[in-house]
Amino acid sequence: MDVFTDLLNTMRLRSHVKFSIELTSPWGVRIPAKDDCATFYAVTRGNCYLEGSSFESPISLMGGDLVMLPRGDAHVLRDHPESSVIPLEEVVRGRGRMEPPQTCHYGGGGSLTIMVAGGFLFEGPVARPFLSMLPPLIHIPGEQGQLVPWLDTTLKWMASEMTTKNPGAQTMVSRLTEMLFIMIVRAYIAESAGRAAHDSAEAGWLRAMLDPHVGRALERIHEEPNHPWTVAELASEVGMSRTAFSLRFSRLTGVPPLAYVTKWRMLKAGDFLRSNSATLSSVAARVGYESEASFSKAFKREMGVAPGAYRKGVSAVCWNPWTSDRALTR
């Protein structure tokens, strides 16, 4: 299993919100922060400006552009940098629950901007640590004023399924939503791959996954999280000496090999605890622990709460497996 697939499975993308917005100048909307929700906008007509505290200057968006804010940061959208803004809740107030085709109209009656807006919602414990490793903004420019083909096709397909009563429509929308998120992150990876090879400041997870040696080691860890890995065995798997491998792994991921193994095991264990009724001993075995006691001790050390409390919904704070920072999980 490749690392990205394992991450996606553990992030548990459950649902999304999606609607079309038709805005006429002058207009301006302030959108609040949304935890565990990656917000996206696809501009299908017109242009606007995106502003946020997480990037230095306003981003000019044109027809065909796609942007995603992976961390759900607060931001402002408006037709002109000097246009006044109002909170999003005032724009949608009194509209009730928007059903398909879910179109929202707002503005002063001038030039028209149309966009598709939505958010990817996650439930898995790895979501926040992973999303925090992406840049605050992913911007995919359009092609001569048009959406890139894969995005145009996916949005049209989603819109069609959302308005149909055919059997399995909700499942289709769910799968298309997951595909859309994957394609956005793929586009970011493709755009960043060349830069990552030469820029030591590039996100650790990306540089690590692209590295032929460390990337393979990560694959093996994710394929068998319950295996009793040693640094020497991982080094042998990728054809490196123990010392050279350990140094390279630590430099690219930000943590030593076995620290990464432990951190990933605990995130997987958290997912198992929340998603099924497996016994504590079963969860422990699935992530490589022979006894409940040793597993519980390791889990509490990494997550900040005992396994039983975590299963009941108590929030936990664990080390991000891709950095030395702590990240809240729920």
* Fold category of 211-329 in CATH: Arc Repressor Mutant, subunit A (1.10.10)
Cβ neighbours, 10 Å, residue 97? 5
Helix (H) or strand (E) holding 286: helix 280-286
Helix (H) or strand (E) holding 308: helix 307-311
pLDDT grade for 320, boundaries at 50, 70 and 90:
low
Distance in angstroms (rounded) separating the CA atoms of residues 178 and 69:
16
- Give yes or no for residue 317 having a pLDDT over 70: no
CA quadruple 215, 7, 205, 256: dihedral positive or negative?
A: negative
Where do the structural domains in the chain lie, given as residue ranges? 10-194, 211-329
C-alpha closest to that of 121 among 36, 180, 181: 36
Looking at the structure, give the CATH architecture of the domain made up of residues 10-194: Sandwich (2.60)
CA quadruple 159, 162, 164, 170: dihedral positive or negative?
A: positive
Query: Which single residue is written with the structure tokens 């076995």?
Result: 258
C-alpha closest to that of 186 among 142, 129, 138, 123: 138
Question: What end-to-end distance do the CA atoms of the chain give, in Å?
Answer: 25
CA distances from 242 to 215, 238, 267, 321 (A): 16, 10, 26, 21
pLDDT digits (tens, 9 = 90+) for 136-158: 999 999 987 788 888 888 888 88
CA distances from 223 to 4, 5, 134, 319 (A): 12, 10, 23, 21
Q: What is the model's pLDDT at position 300?
A: 93
pLDDT digits (tens, 9 = 90+) for 19-66: 788 999 999 999 999 877 899 999 999 999 999 988 888 999 999 999
pLDDT digits (tens, 9 = 90+) for 110-142: 999 999 888 888 877 778 778 877 889 999 999
| β-strand partners of 316 | 329
C-alpha closest to that of 69 among 37, 38, 41, 24: 38
- pTM exceeds 0.95: no
Q: Which amino acid is at 33?
A: A
pLDDT digits (tens, 9 = 90+) for 56-74: 889 999 999 999 999 889 9
